[in-house]
Amino acid sequence: QVQLVESGGGSVQAGGSLRLSCAASGSTYSNVLMGWFRQAPGKEREGVAAIYTAFGATYYADSVKGRFTITRDTGKKTVYLQMNSVKPEDTAMYYCAADLYPAGASTWSVPRRYDSWGQGTQVTVSS
């Protein structure tokens, strides 16, 4: 299994930037689909972005395309989410997740396909 720890959340004004990190530890897998999700109070958890660790293919929710960038550092076993031009509607708890035996990418934003989850990091955007 894999343990995930998120960091980098905080409070930022609209238009600003944040970079979230997700550090993985535990067993090593040749290719993992790493996802970032978020959940605001009273709302369902939604996929924000995902990346295959082996070859770097990325996927984004329409709401964050052009503003957020997901990257990975395989040597550090860390995935990042660079958040630029943030908006108040980006306010949520952000979670990192790992699909250890990924198949197709069409369901990258579906939470139940992921095997391991971090504890989350809060992002608050003020207007």
pLDDT tens-digit profile of 3-40?
999 999 999 999 999 999 999 999 888 899 999 999 99
**Residue 11 CA: distances (Å) to CA of 18, 19, 48, 91, 94:** 9, 12, 19, 9, 13
53-111 pLDDT, tens digit each: 999 999 999 999 999 999 999 999 999 999 999 999 999 999 999 999 988 889 999 99
CB 89 within 8 A of CB 31: no
The pLDDT value given to residue 1: 86
Q: How many CB atoms lie within 10 A of CB 74?
A: 11
CB 31 within 8 A of CB 19: no
- Give the confidence band of 114 by pLDDT, cuts at 50, 70, 90: very high
The pLDDT value given to residue 78: 97
Tell which residue, 8, 86, 97, has the closest CA to residue 50.
97
